[in-house]
Structure 1
Amino acid sequence: MAAYTTIKFPAGFWSGLRQLGIAPHEVVRRAGLPLTLMNEPMVTTAQYFSIWEAYSNIIGDTAKGIIKLTTGFETVHFPPTVLAAYHARDYHDALTRMIRYKRLCPPESLRITEENNECTIELGWLNTEQPGPPMLIGITLAFLLELGRRGTGQPLTAKSVEFSHLMGDVQSLETYFGCQVQVGGSSNRLTLHKRDLHRPFVSYNAELLEILTPALDQSIDKQQPGHSIIEKVKWITKRSLPGGLSNIQTVAAELGMSNRTLQRRLHGEGTSFQQLLSQVRQELAREYLADPSLEIGEVAFLIGYEDQNSFYRAFRLWEGDTPSNWRTVHLGVHSIN
């Protein structure tokens, strides 16, 4: 699976919601998503944003939701990427780890700059032209300060905070961050006092880091080759075919970009959406035909063909044979082996 095509959604999130008195199924229903999503380890960008928007709608006020989840989420529910930061040597080490391991949990991207007496962390987005919901933006930045407070055991405050969206009760946010909060700005960023970065973490656990660090670094290394837009398009298309949504509009929306942008990027890779759609259908057809329990008509439906004759014509172009003959030969070979 390509990196950044899907987002790891930690199971601890749902436990954290229950702890706050919020029923996870209500959030999923409000997001218009199937309840089975709560058992899925991966979600698409569109689903990810919908979950955060649903949580925001249930809470009512964005600022209240940010503070409630950030302060109420117990350490026991932290995913490994956050645990590696929580058990870091000091605040600077923790932030460095958060920014590095954030690459394993897109679409958020964090960039840190240190200048004079300030340390600024700016939030951006990976592989999506659509900015995340205000609730997600607020929680992402608030948790960076919360991490420092929990790790050092000190009531740290920020130097300044800027949000590009309206965030509800700004006064309560200013009380939480301990500084002025600007809304409607040009970016989303948290500025810390540089002196706080050298504060040691009381939660430092060298033994646990020896276990977590190599595993997380290896995961990042594995992701490096998988950033291709082609792989993202193919994965989303595979998921959409059985529902009859095998069109560029659906895929572009999942990726958070316009149809024209997606077409341009695919053209730059020397392909097109129609070519990738055909490849996906061919790959899936071979997989499904290898399952003798599936009828030919079912295979046609599963790869997005309402008309079985259209499937037959396409399959002849791909394989130079009919689906029935291909299945006979394929299953025969495997039965001999």
Structure 2
Amino acid sequence: MQARWNDAGATIRAGALTGIRAALAPRGLQPEPLCERRGVDPALLDNADARLPVGRYVDLLEDAARVSGNAALGLRLGYTQPLSSIGPGAVRMGRARSFGEAVRILIADLPLHQDGVRIDLEVDGRWASLSYSIRHLHGIEYAQDAELSIGKMLSAARRLGPSADWAPAQVHFEHPAPADPSAQRRLFGAPVHFSQPRNALIFDRALLDAPMRGAEGLGAGEAAGAVLPCTESAPDLVAALKGRILRALPQGGVTIEAIAEQLALSERTLQRRLQEAGLNFQQLVEQLRYETACRYLQQGHLPLTEIGYLLGYSEPSAFSRAFRRWSGASPLAYRRQLS
């Protein structure tokens, strides 16, 4: 089944591939043939601020892991990359006073690095969780990117947090377990569970209030001289807008008034900026709901009622009607065709 919306314009900074050449070298491989196979200009590997389509980036990582025989390639790549690979947001994280503040900066700034990404911080009793997902890829495996991103979160916690040997309580991944998950368990120093509803680090909520080591935890050149993102450009606005909408979906009604307030803009200004970018707020909300629904439906263990709730629908029937309107098929029929 072909998605009506596939967000073909979604991009990611080439900095996400930092270190891939060194990761392939021990196997006698070069990234250029992999780039060419996926239609990625190899010159982007030397230009961290250049952008490439998210789908091609994900496929490139999967290819690299497969041809190298290294199922943990994405994980190692994310853990060893400098934090500056996510862009200027790394500088703001380095200036955070607590781990919780650094997480909030990450949530706010990462959509500028990668379109369509969703990061959620949830606190339940003693425990907190930090989760990651790409919400507009339909029928595309992104295990390597998921492990790269969670690995980078672990690296950030150890570089900037109070302890260089910090370990989470648990780690969850959406994708099935590799044949040998020992690399994942060794790196995290914690139980790692696969085929879960989300990709997430679970940790003691006390860490959120822990002071940060700050810029001393950043690598050379990461703490100085970076330029903060320009919030006036249309691409930055759209990325920030999508991030706010995605985080608001589980709460139900997403209004332009609430989103404008979060972006520190008047409703009229946001409407004008959207018109200049050729966008309609309500259509954008519906597009993101549909893309998110497709992503959730790929996770066969997620009940349809739970998916509807995560999209802001109080009744399964409302979700079913909306999905049929978007795709022409019921959520159950869509899931059956995927399987």
Quickly name the TM-score band, shorter chain normalised.
0.5 to 0.7
1:316 is aligned to: none
Are 2:12 and 2:54, in contact at CA under 8 Å, matched by a contact in 1? no
Indicate how the Cα distance of structure 1 residues 154 and 216 shifts in structure 2: closer, same or farther if over 3 A, else same: farther
1:127 is aligned to: 136
TM-score by length of 1: 0.57
Indicate how the Cα distance of structure 1 residues 20 and 125 shifts in structure 2: closer, same or farther if over 3 A, else same: closer
Are 2:175 and 2:196, in contact at CA under 8 Å, matched by a contact in 1? yes
Residue 131 of structure 2 aligns with an amino acid whose one-letter code is E
1:24 is aligned to: 31
* 1:58 corresponds to 2:67: yes
* 1:253-281 superposed Cα distances (whole Å, 9 cap, x missing partner): xx999xxx9996599xxxxxxxxxxxxxx
1:93 is aligned to: 101
2:246 is aligned to: none
Are 1:88 and 1:201, in contact at CA under 8 Å, matched by a contact in 2? yes
Residue 165 of structure 1 aligns with an amino acid whose one-letter code is H
Are 2:24 and 2:64, in contact at CA under 8 Å, matched by a contact in 1? no
Indicate how the Cα distance of structure 1 residues 90 and 61 shifts in structure 2: closer, same or farther if over 3 A, else same: same
* 1:9-28 superposed Cα distances (whole Å, 9 cap, x missing partner): 23x44552234454331431
Residue 110 of structure 1 aligns with an amino acid whose one-letter code is I
> Structure 2 matches for 1:197-216, cutoff 5 A?
197-204=208-215, 215=230
How far has the Cα of 1:67 moved from its partner?
3.7
Structure 1 distance, partners of 2:110, 2:280, is 19
Pick one of 54, 78, 88 that aligns with 1:70: 78
* 1:170 corresponds to 2:181: yes
Structure 2 distance, partners of 1:51, 1:229, is 32
Unpaired stretches in structure 2, ≥5 consecutive residues: 1-6, 217-222, 242-273, 285-290, 298-321, 329-339
Are 1:62 and 1:134, in contact at CA under 8 Å, matched by a contact in 2? no
**Aligned Cα RMSD in Å?**
4.0
Residue 203 of structure 2 aligns with an amino acid whose one-letter code is L
1:108 is aligned to: 117
Residue 56 of structure 1 aligns with an amino acid whose one-letter code is A
1:184 is aligned to: 195
Indicate how the Cα distance of structure 1 residues 197 and 135 shifts in structure 2: closer, same or farther if over 3 A, else same: same
Q: Larger Cα Rg: Structure 1 or Structure 2?
A: 1
Structure 1 segments, 4+ long, off by >6 Å, are 208-211, 229-232
How far has the Cα of 1:7 moved from its partner?
0.9
Structure 2 distance, partners of 1:51, 1:262, is 30
Indicate how the Cα distance of structure 1 residues 203 and 162 shifts in structure 2: closer, same or farther if over 3 A, else same: same
* 1:115-141 superposed Cα distances (whole Å, 9 cap, x missing partner): 211111222333343455111111111
How far has the Cα of 1:66 moved from its partner?
3.4
Structure 1 distance, partners of 2:11, 2:280, is 16
How far has the Cα of 1:230 moved from its partner?
12
Pick one of 201, 206, 210 that aligns with 1:195: 206
Secondary structure of the residue that 2:198 maps to in structure 1? coil
Secondary structure of the residue that 1:141 maps to in structure 2? helix
Structure 1 distance, partners of 2:93, 2:232, is 13
Secondary structure of the residue that 2:230 maps to in structure 1? helix
Indicate how the Cα distance of structure 1 residues 147 and 204 shifts in structure 2: closer, same or farther if over 3 A, else same: same
Residue 17 of structure 1 aligns with an amino acid whose one-letter code is I
Secondary structure of the residue that 2:214 maps to in structure 1? coil
Pick one of 75, 89, 92 that aligns with 1:84: 92
2:149 is aligned to: 140
Structure 2 distance, partners of 1:217, 1:147, is 28
Whose helix fraction is larger, Structure 1's or Structure 2's?
1
How far has the Cα of 1:158 moved from its partner?
0.8
Are 2:158 and 2:164, in contact at CA under 8 Å, matched by a contact in 1? yes
* 1:49-105 superposed Cα distances (whole Å, 9 cap, x missing partner): 212212222332323x13421232234545213333244222111111111112221
Residue 193 of structure 2 aligns with an amino acid whose one-letter code is Q
Indicate how the Cα distance of structure 1 residues 15 and 183 shifts in structure 2: closer, same or farther if over 3 A, else same: closer
Structure 2 distance, partners of 1:66, 1:46, is 15
2:237 is aligned to: 221
Indicate how the Cα distance of structure 1 residues 220 and 170 shifts in structure 2: closer, same or farther if over 3 A, else same: same
- Percent of residue pairs bearing the same amino acid type: 15
Structure 2 distance, partners of 1:212, 1:179, is 36
Indicate how the Cα distance of structure 1 residues 131 and 85 shifts in structure 2: closer, same or farther if over 3 A, else same: farther
Which is worse superposed, 140-149 or 117-126?
117-126
Structure 2 distance, partners of 1:76, 1:125, is 20
Indicate how the Cα distance of structure 1 residues 36 and 144 shifts in structure 2: closer, same or farther if over 3 A, else same: closer
Unpaired stretches in structure 1, ≥5 consecutive residues: 233-251, 268-337
How far has the Cα of 1:174 moved from its partner?
1.5
Residue 27 of structure 1 aligns with an amino acid whose one-letter code is L
Are 1:8 and 1:42, in contact at CA under 8 Å, matched by a contact in 2? yes
Structure 2 distance, partners of 1:90, 1:154, is 15
Are 1:99 and 1:111, in contact at CA under 8 Å, matched by a contact in 2? yes
